[in-house]
Structure 1
């Protein structure tokens, strides 16, 4: 349980998230993930990182129950900072990051996948931001990297999800495969990337980030201010407290 790093093949680091039952991460889990990604990127022997998850889905966002136990703001602040660090660690990783997305990718999962360089998804994968149903806001920055602007808004306002096949049609998912082939396919792609010159691939990552039209760190930080406003106003608690009554699943960003 937690975040682990393995070396499945030369030049590849495999960072795996495992927080049962649905990979809804506590605040510390986001910081742990950020550190694992940064360490993998700093390692001169690595030329590509694969971000994967164990269990039912890729990521269900933050641990809502952790927030419900804290009537102050420490859990919220911890989650806000942790998500910011983890999303930034994916984007700023010195080498390309391949996200292997299986099952649900919700809330904070969108922040991770949206900042990845390449996404490989299983045919049962779904992507969405249930934030408005969870008393939160955020990660529209990253969803906008996966789907066109108007579709992003429709998904955000309705809390609906899009399938891996739909994202593949929009060009944001590299390949859709059966769940059993997900990790193998992601590692094969990572292996192709890892065969490039290590110094050159790092230059390529820095160059591509440098020409991005949107500063994802600043954009997401702007969104987080509205999340905190929703909490200060009390509306977030009111919406979030209905969450445990309506469903047993936890998670948002």
Structure 2
């Protein structure tokens, strides 16, 4: 009977080897760190390796140990590769968005930018506010440099007024952002827009402060399915393919 314990040992060893193999010359240059001091890249690589080990063992019933090692190495390397790409993009965005009022959040392999209403649009308007052009220009520059993500622009409003009016307004605001980014050279095929009006509030609409927080634009960056993620800046130009 096959024992689970050797599989765990093999998976762990494979995860460690994957972590070592995925080291890169930029590892100590601002790579995002978790609370434990481990980079997101290492976390994704290790977790991916463990998942790959289980999958590999399940596929190769006759040679589970070998299957676990192969699965761990393949999946772990892929996860670490994208994790490194997202680490660098997150770092660059935090630098370019500093002191602009735009908040950068990391959620797993996705990056979210939250743009508050006080810098984006005037009340009941879909015309880009003058204070919003500088952050948008910085975003456009970053999106052209890191061009292997989809860009979803989502507009939100507070609950004041009719729902239909707010849905239309949020859609126009999202479209205005998407159109401007495209006009600055960002590939329009990467950009999608939608308006959610008063849905998904982040604060109470019962007071002015809460309503102000709910009036916002969010930009969600997600990996392009099947895309090649290139470790930009490496002289070797190595490319990894993701299924």
TM-score, structure 1 as length reference: 0.24
Structure with max Cα Rg: 2
**Higher RCO by CA contacts (8 Å cutoff, separation 6 or greater):** 1
TM-score, structure 2 as length reference: 0.25
